[in-house]
């Protein structure tokens, strides 16, 4: 029985006592997934959902809920947790992302075709050098600064360090089980390597940010904030742990500025297994004669990550028998530009020397770190366990399908399987990669008029099912746009933020007839130029 929204609201009842009936776990997961689609401020997604089915845990939760019937009789519970501690880094990231989008629009208006094709950053830097103080110079400088600031937010994310500790704890667990492991942690810059050993150190760690932040309604300097103190505590605790004689980690460090002969000695000691863990900047991945390792951890995601993985892959395989697969851990921040390391390359195809039947299970898997929080004393906790304890280890979160997918053209079957039922114009399309599979391209002017290009000449394209979408696109982008018509009959476009959005469903036969009419018009148009 179908109901309107108003009817459904009026029909709603609050149930406080439940039958002891088993629930379909997948249906519960679908409900949780739908809940995550709700609008939220700045798309920060500061939530966590815990689906509880364990009977003992349910009893404890029931007690925490004062043994109300709704809790006592529930066979499942979903606990909603608001992660207020996550908003600062995410808010800063979103702020710079919005600024980058705004400045990019201004640059397109000023320079237009000069920005098309190739590396945008390189083109802007070239314009800066040759423009001679042109009107766009200030905007270019602001744009490049925002790019750098956003990159630094991702690079310095606290959870990068927490994830590194979790992986090392995982190694420790396996060492305790009798497996010897050697590990190399790769950083892009020397100062990232030094932070592990210097605590407050120099440079960026000492400054961290000079921005003001708000705590308890008052502006405080970053150095006085809980977040700042917690970060320092992380580094201080790492140093203390690494210097503990009873600790399983025997660590060394190498980078291009490391004084000789200590650098050479560090590498020799690592090769002789006097050391089992090496902190390094990228120098060790650049053809250096480095002993092989069991585990490689890439802590910084960069545009050169493809080369880095392939180089490190060769490095960590040096030592291994043919039947043992070594590990490369890539630490990335989800829902940021970090995910490009997966979308730019199809690792499923590119990872070498791994039997195809093993790739999905043994190579491309997703792992998460346990949730942790900063307590009132700026201490660091996770389920009552210190994150530096060996119990704080990453957990498996799915195979290849759970990772960001390669940015490639979809197959016909994949396109046909995309469901747009209930989607409104302007809402995010289920798979952004579909835009690469355009069957027809319709251009939209600033005023919402549609044209189709035939042999370089624009012709009016009057198609009623796309009119609403073309007007929506011009109003939201506030400039020209493109509607991509896909082979599955869906029309999509890019929003002002770059997100691929749904426009409408169309009839491909009708569009083809309109295109054929344009071809006839073009032939008539060309007759006027024939002698």
Q: How many residues does the chain have?
A: 531
* Dist CA 196 CA 486 (whole Å): 50
Mean pLDDT of 190-202: 59
Q: Any idea which of 3-7, 345-349, 369-373 has the lowest mean pLDDT?
A: 345-349
- Which pLDDT score, from 0 to 100, does residue 485 have? 93
Tens of pLDDT along 51-76? Answer: 888 888 899 899 888 888 888 899 99
* Contact yes or no for 181/270 (Cβ under 8 A): no
Q: What is the largest CA-CA distance in the chain?
A: 94
Q: Give the residue, 58 or 223, on which the prediction is more confident.
A: 58
Residue, of 227 and 157, whose pLDDT is higher:
157
- Are the beta carbons of 175 and 181 closer than 8 angstroms? yes
Q: Which helix (H) or strand (E) holds 474?
A: helix 464-477
* Structure confidence by residue, pLDDT tens digits, 476-493: 877 778 999 999 999 999
Which burial class, exposed, middle or buried, applies to 354 when counting CB atoms under 10 A from its CB (0-12, 13-18, 19+)? middle
Contacts of 448 (CB under 8 A, 6+ apart): 467, 470, 471, 473, 474, 475
Q: Has residue 170 got a pLDDT over 90?
A: no
- pLDDT score recorded for residue 304: 64
Per the CB < 8 A criterion, the answer to whether 174 and 181 are in contact is yes
**Which range, 36-45, 346-355, 454-463, has the best average confidence (pLDDT)?**
454-463
Which tokens belong to 172? 């420790």
The share of the chain scoring above pLDDT 90, in percent, equals 8
How far apart are alpha carbons 111 and 135 in whole angstroms? 10
Q: Categorize the per-residue pLDDT at 199 as very low, low, confident or very high, splitting at 50, 70 and 90.
A: very low
The continuous run of DSSP H or E covering 520 comes out as helix 508-527
pLDDT at residue 491, as a whole number: 95
Domain 156-402 coded CATH 3.40.50.2300: no
What is the model's pLDDT at position 121?
82
- List Cα–Cα distances, 82 to 30, 44, 64, 90, 468, in angstroms: 20, 11, 18, 14, 38
- Using one digit for the tens of pLDDT, what is the confidence trace for 415-442? 999 999 888 998 889 888 888 888 888 9
Per-range mean pLDDT, top range of 137-151, 264-278, 513-527: 137-151
Supply φ then ψ for residue 29, to 5 degrees: -60, -40
Record: fold of 5-82: NADH Oxidase (3.40.109)
Question: Which helix (H) or strand (E) segment is 94 a member of?
Answer: helix 87-111
How far apart CA 482 and CA 493 sit, in angstroms, is 6
DSSP 397-408: --SGGGSPPP--
The reported pTM is 0.65
Give the residue carrying structure tokens 């394209």.
Answer: 461
Most confident of 176-190, 271-285, 306-320: 176-190
Neighbours of 352 (CB within 10 A): 8
Instruction: Output the pLDDT for position 334.
Output: 85
Compute the distance between CA of residue 151 and CA of residue 93 in angstroms, rounded to an integer: 9
């Amino acid at each position: 029985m179908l109901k309107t929204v108003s009817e459904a609201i009026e029909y709603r009842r609050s149930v406080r006592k439940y039958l002891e009936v088993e629930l379909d776990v997948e249906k519960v997961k679908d409900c949780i997934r739908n809940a995550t689609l709700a609008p939220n401020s700045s798309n920060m997604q500061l939530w966590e959902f815990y689906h509880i089915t364990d009977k003992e845990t349910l009893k404890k939760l029931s007690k925490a809920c004062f043994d109300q019937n709704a809790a006592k009789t529930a066979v499942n519970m979903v606990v909603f947790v608001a992660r207020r501690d996550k908003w600062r880094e995410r808010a800063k990231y979103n702020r710079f992302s919005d600024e980058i989008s705004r400045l990019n629009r201004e640059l397109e208006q000023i320079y237009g075709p000069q920005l098309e094709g190739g590396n945008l950053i390189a083109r802007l830097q070239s314009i800066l050098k040759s423009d001679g103080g042109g009107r766009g110079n200030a905007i270019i400088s602001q744009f490049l600064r925002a790019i750098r600031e956003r990159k630094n937010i991702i690079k310095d994310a606290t959870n990068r360090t927490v994830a590194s500790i979790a992986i090392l704890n995982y190694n420790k667990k396996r060492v305790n089980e009798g497996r010897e492991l050697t590990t190399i942690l790769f950083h892009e810059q020397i100062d990232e390597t030094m932070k592990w050993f210097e605590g407050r150190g120099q440079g960026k760690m000492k400054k961290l940010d000079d921005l003001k932040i708000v705590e308890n309604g008052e502006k405080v300097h970053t150095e006085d904030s809980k977040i700042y103190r917690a970060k320092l505590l992380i580094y201080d605790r790492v140093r203390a742990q690494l210097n503990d004689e009873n600790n399983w980690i025997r660590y060394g460090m190498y980078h291009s500025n490391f004084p000789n002969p200590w650098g050479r000695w560090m590498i020799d000691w690592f090769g002789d297994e006097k050391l089992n863990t090496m902190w390094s900047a990228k120098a060790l991945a650049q053809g250096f004669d480095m002993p092989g390792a069991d585990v490689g951890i890439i802590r910084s995601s960069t545009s050169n990550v493809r080369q880095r993985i392939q180089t490190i892959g060769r490095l960590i395989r040096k030592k291994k028998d043919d039947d043992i697969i070594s590990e490369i851990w890539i630490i990335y921040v989800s829902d940021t530009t970090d995910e490009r390391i997966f979308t730019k390359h199809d690792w499923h195809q590119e990872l070498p020397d791994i039997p195809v039947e093993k790739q999905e299970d043994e190579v491309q898997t997703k792992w998460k770190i346990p949730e942790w929080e900063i307590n009132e004393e700026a201490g660091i906790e996770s389920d009552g366990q210190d994150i530096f304890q060996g119990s704080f280890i990453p957990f498996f979160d799915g195979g290849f399908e759970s990772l960001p997918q390669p940015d490639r053209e979809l197959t016909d079957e994949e396109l046909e399987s995309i469901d747009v039922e209930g989607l409104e114009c302007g809402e995010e399309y289920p798979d952004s990669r579909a835009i690469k599979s355009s069957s027809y391209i319709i251009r939209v002017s600033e005023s919402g008029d549609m044209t189709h290009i035939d042999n370089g000449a624009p012709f009016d394209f009057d198609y009623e099912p796309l009119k609403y979408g073309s007007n929506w696109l011009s109003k939201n982008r506030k400039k020209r746009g493109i509607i991509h018509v896909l082979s599955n009959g869906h029309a999509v476009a890019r929003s002002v933020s770059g997100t691929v959005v749904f426009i409408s469903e169309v009839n491909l036969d009708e569009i083809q007839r309109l295109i054929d009419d344009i071809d006839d018009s073009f032939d008539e148009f060309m007759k006027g130029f024939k002698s």
